[in-house]
Structures are given as C-alpha cells and as structure tokens.
Structure 1
Amino acid sequence: MSTDTEPGRPVTRIQREKHELILEAALDVFSRYGFRGSTIDQIAEAAGMSKPNLLYYFKSKEDIHAPILARILETWLEPLREMNADGDPLPEIQSYIRRKLEMSRDFPRESRLFANEMLRGAPGFHEVLNTELKELVDEKAAVIKGWMNQGKIARCDPYHLIFSIWATTQHYADFDIQVRAVLGKARGGEGRFEDAARFLDQLFLHGLKPKK
C-alpha cells in the first residue's frame, strides 16, 4: 500500500479498509475499460471518494494496478498447483477443469482483466509469465507426460492440453455476454456452467482415456 504515513508506522484498520475499497473499485473499472481506458477519476468515483483522498493511498494508476495483478495471478495458478502427480490422472484433470470453470463463474472480472493484460502485451505480467508461470506449467506438463508413459492417459501434447483447458474454461467469463446471448433465456442462467462442465468432461476425459 502506498500512503504518506511514516515508514515503519503500523497501518490502521481504516487504512486497510480504504485500501481494499479502492482495489475492489479498481478491479471493476479495469475489467470494464482495460488499463489504458481507465482513469484515477473513474476509480475514485467507483470507490465513492475524492481523487485527492484516493491518491493518499495510491500514488498512481500503476500502483493500484500492480497488487490487483499479483492477486489475480496467485488465484489463477492455485488450481494448477493442486494437480497431484500421485492422484488418479482423469479425476485430477477433471478437478482442474471444474476449478477453472468455477473461477470463470465466480471471478469474471479477474478473468477479463487478465485477458486484457495478455492482449496489451502483458507488461504487468511479463516477468512472472517467463518465470513462475512457465516453471509451474513445465512441472505439470512433466506430470502429465509421466501419466502418459505409465499408460494411464492417451498421448497428447501436455502444453496444448493445458492451453485448451484455459481457453475453453475462461471463455465462459471473457465472452459471457456472447454465451448468454446465444444460449438464450432458457439456457443462459446459472445452469450454463454445469452444462459446460458436463460437455468439457466429455470433450477432455473421453479424449484422454488410454487406448485399449
């Protein structure tokens, strides 16, 4: 948190609450307009405070953006971290797909903000994409290869498997308006996520079953 308080001085409860209020408002603004299209004035209005008051807690739009991105990346990586090399492969992959789909349902703003970052070249994520994210995907790709070598799942490119799971699950957040419009009122409610889960189970798990 960036404030004018003295270095080493404890952050008060009110300061923490204001900090969280600003980040929540900024998430809404950034997810709607992207980083370039968002302004401090918009964030201050969404937070219900004056611009000078907001700038007491954060010195710039970049200072607000950075902690939001850090939280999103941590949230996004957690389901992949939980993929257990010692588990049964198909249930492990199914669980990962379900968790990613649940995130699209529960965190649509975060998903759209993440997508916007990728589209603008990921300046706020570039270093971590090449280190933490790559290392984690390399680790889980090795796990998937191990399952293939043991004959537990069909052979495929593990990286493109992971990419495909990302693409199909995050679609339901990033293109939610399109999904609901095409499905219509009868099928465009909350049940669309369970319908999607059943289809993705069929798509991925059937394709990954080892050949007899």
Structure 2
Amino acid sequence: MSRIRAKNEEKIIRAASRIFAEYGYAATKTAAIADLAELPKPNIYYYFGSKEKLYRAVLESMVEPLLAASEPLVEYSDPVRALTAYIRTKLLISKDYPYASKVFANEIMHGAPHLPSDIVARLTAQTRILTSRLSEWMEQGLMDRVDPKHLLFAIWASTQTYADFNWQITMTLGKEELDEQDFEQAATLITRLVIQGCAVKAVG
C-alpha cells in the first residue's frame, strides 16, 4: 500500500468514526465524511467502495486494538502484571479511538445488526481465551474465585466508559477534554479495584 493511500484511508476512517458516532449508520452521509476528511467525495468510494464497507472498516479499526489488548493476559504468567497491562491498554484504546469506540458501542447496543460474523467469531474466541486464563489463575490460587465473564464485563465497562460517556465525564470534571493525568488516575484506580477486590497475587 502506498503512503498516500494509507494516509488517505486513515483520514477517511477517522472522519467516518466521528460522523458515524454523531449521527449513526443510517443517517450518515458520505458527503459529510468527505468534508470532514477534506477529501473529494469520490475518494470515499475509491478507497472503500461503499458506506457499508467503510462502516466495517471503522468497526475493524476498533476491533483490532481490542483483540491486541488481550495479549498481556496471554503473554504474562503473573496475573498482577497481566491485568495491570490489560487495563491500561483498554484505557489507551478509549483515549486513542474515542469515536470508533462510540460507534462500536452503539452497534452493540442495537444488537450488532452490521457487525460481520467473522468479527463476532474473533471477539467470541478472544473472550473464551480470556475467561480461560482468569479461571486458570483462580485454580492456581492466584486470585479469588469470581465469575470470569462478569469480571471482564466490569473491566470493559470501567475502561470503555471514558470514551463512550466522555461528555458526562468531562462535564463532571469541569473540563473540555480528558488529559494524560485523567487516564493515569483512571488506570491506577481501576487496577487497584480489580487487584485488591479479587485478591490477585503476584508471581515470584
């Protein structure tokens, strides 16, 4: 892929993420995406073919980081290190992909009507891997026995809320946008709640 093509595709996906997040799939016009991306409207179809394919690209721009975020839980044998890295990575996704996160959340809240089956399969497989890993640590006595799926739900909710409910959080904090310190404080608190709340023990 040429550098120009990659740059334009990234610009379009970022613009599309914002427009889809603000207006939803049905109400989104490709002309609005082109205007925000500062590119001619034909470029949208040249690079992505259709609004549906562009929407999928936006979902994939969120799904790929979500899948990659699970790597610490698979790579590290120490649950404290793994969960700390996982929570921080999840928060970074909310920080770096705020609009794509909202698009993804809106898709899920509406029953995932446009979420391709292959993406559903990959996310489902990831969840099985994560719950298996958590269960393994519980069996080893490295953390309290809790429902691993509900623990994941709690982590997802507490990290993704910084993107999906950004307006509420910034309003409550009395600021226009979140900064590095806000995400650092969130990471520290959420990690503490999970580690201490589930009595997670370090290895070694």
C-alpha displacement of 1:200:
0.8
- Superposed structure 1 runs of 4+ greater than 6 Å apart: none
C-alpha displacement of 1:91:
1.8
SS in 1 for 2:73: coil
Q: Which moved more, 1:110-119 or 1:153-162?
A: 110-119
- Which of 170, 175, 187 aligns to 2:160? It is 170
Q: Does 1:55 align with 2:45?
A: yes
**Counterpart amino acid of residue 19 in structure 1:** E
**1:61–1:183: structure 2 CA closer, same or farther, 3 Å change rule?**
same
C-alpha displacement of 1:47:
2.3
Report the count of equivalent residues: 200
Q: Does 1:21 align with 2:11?
A: yes
SS in 1 for 2:87: helix
Contact 1:153 1:210 in 2 (8 A): yes
**1:85–1:19: structure 2 CA closer, same or farther, 3 Å change rule?**
closer
Task: Quote the residue 2:186 is aligned against.
Answer: 196
Please give the residue correspondences for 1:26-37 in structure 2 after superposition, counting only pairs within 5 Å: 26-37=16-27
C-alpha displacement of 1:120:
2.3
Contact 2:72 2:83 in 1 (8 A): no
Contact 1:101 1:197 in 2 (8 A): yes
- Which of 115, 126, 139 aligns to 2:105? It is 115
C-alpha displacement of 1:188:
5.7
**Counterpart amino acid of residue 133 in structure 2:** V
CA distance in 1, matches of 2:112, 2:23: 16
Contact 1:85 1:143 in 2 (8 A): no
Which segments of 5 or more consecutive residues in structure 2 lack a partner in the other structure?
Answer: none
What TM-score do you get using the length of structure 1 for normalisation?
Answer: 0.83
What TM-score do you get using the length of structure 2 for normalisation?
Answer: 0.86
C-alpha displacement of 1:129:
5.4
Q: Does 1:44 align with 2:34?
A: yes
Task: Quote the residue 1:8 is aligned against.
Answer: none
Q: Which moved more, 1:112-121 or 1:126-135?
A: 126-135
C-alpha displacement of 1:115:
0.8
Contact 1:154 1:210 in 2 (8 A): yes
CA distance in 1, matches of 2:146, 2:92: 25
Contact 1:90 1:153 in 2 (8 A): no
Task: Quote the residue 1:151 is aligned against.
Answer: 141
CA distance in 2, matches of 1:130, 1:13: 30
**Counterpart amino acid of residue 143 in structure 1:** R
**Counterpart amino acid of residue 164 in structure 1:** A
SS in 2 for 1:84: helix
- Percent identity of paired positions between Structure 1 and Structure 2: 37
C-alpha displacement of 1:96:
0.7
C-alpha displacement of 1:35:
1.4
**1:135–1:184: structure 2 CA closer, same or farther, 3 Å change rule?**
same
SS in 2 for 1:112: helix
Root-mean-square deviation (Å): 2.4
Greater C-alpha radius of gyration? 1
SS in 2 for 1:206: helix
Q: Does 1:96 align with 2:86?
A: yes
**1:128–1:167: structure 2 CA closer, same or farther, 3 Å change rule?**
farther
C-alpha displacement of 1:19:
3.4
- Which of 135, 139, 149 aligns to 2:129? It is 139
Contact 2:79 2:200 in 1 (8 A): no
